[in-house]
Each structure stands twice: as C-alpha cells, then as structure tokens.
C-alpha cells in the first residue's frame, strides 16, 4: 500500500483526506471504515510518540474541536435554528407545545459533535439516541 501511494505521489494523509472530503467517495466502504473506526484512529494518533512530543498538534486539534462546538452551539441556539427561546416573550401555547424529546432529537441531528460531547459528559455511549440518554 505504501509503495502504491508513493508511485501515485500521494502521502497517506492526502489519501485519507481525499477519501473523507471528496463527494464521490461518500458511502464508499473505505470512507465508512474510516468513520466507523475514527475513535481508534484518533487514539492511535494521540498515543503516537511523535504526537506526544509536539504540543502544537494537540493545541490545533483542541482548537478545531472548540470551533466545531461553537459553530454547532450557534446553529442550534439561533432563531433560524428553531430552538431559540425567549422566556419573557413565550406564550402559554409555546410552553405547552415544548418537548424536551423533540429538542434532544433535533440537537442530535443538527449538532452531532456537541451531542457526542454531551453524551460523553453524561457517561452515555456517543452512538446513543436521545431516548437512550434520557433514560
């Protein structure tokens, strides 16, 4: 595999990034495998000795996650996101129609990274549905 990548003048990172970013590979078994095993891949990267020695990589990764969380928080809390709540302007009908289950399901679909973080902080399996976390 390494020789083939070298013959194609591709680095391993270029190959992986192209599989994950290119629309034509969405759903491809290689892309799906990378996504399913992303926890193992990230753990292997973090535990690699050269990663341990390079704090700037760790900081960059943390910054990227932080940006993802901020983006998702803005998305789900915006008025356009439908979850914006102004208690001083809420009507009785809005309060009666509010559903924590619906809000959880919406968060899971619109803010998956934030949902995973919340599940981690609550000790749930990140692949859990809202119903699993609720219980």
Cα four-point dihedral sign 28, 29, 30, 34: positive
pLDDT averaged over every residue in the chain: 80
Phi then psi for 3, rounded to 5 degrees? Answer: -65, -40
The stretch 79-87 carries a mean pLDDT of 65
Instruction: Please state the pTM of the whole predicted model.
Output: 0.50
Residue 43: predicted pLDDT: 80
The stretch 45-69 carries a mean pLDDT of 77
* H helix runs in 26-88, sequence order: 29-36, 38-47, 49-53, 55-77
By the 8 A CB rule, do 114 and 108 touch? no
By the 8 A CB rule, do 114 and 76 touch? yes
């Amino acid at each position: 595999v390494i020789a083939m990548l070298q013959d194609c003048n591709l680095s391993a990172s270029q190959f992986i990034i192209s599989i994950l970013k290119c629309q034509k590979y969405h759903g491809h078994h290689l892309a799906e495998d990378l996504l399913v095993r992303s926890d193992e891949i990230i753990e292997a990267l973090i535990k690699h000795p050269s990663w341990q020695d390079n704090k700037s990589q760790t900081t960059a990764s943390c910054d990227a996650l932080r940006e993802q969380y901020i983006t998702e928080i803005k998305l789900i809390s915006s008025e356009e996101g439908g979850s914006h709540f102004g208690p001083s302007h809420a009507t009785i009908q809005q309060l009666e129609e509010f559903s924590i289950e619906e809000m959880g399901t919406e968060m899971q679909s619109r803010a998956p990274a934030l949902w995973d973080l919340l599940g981690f902080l609550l000790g749930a399996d990140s692949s859990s549905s809202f119903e699993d976390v609720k219980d």
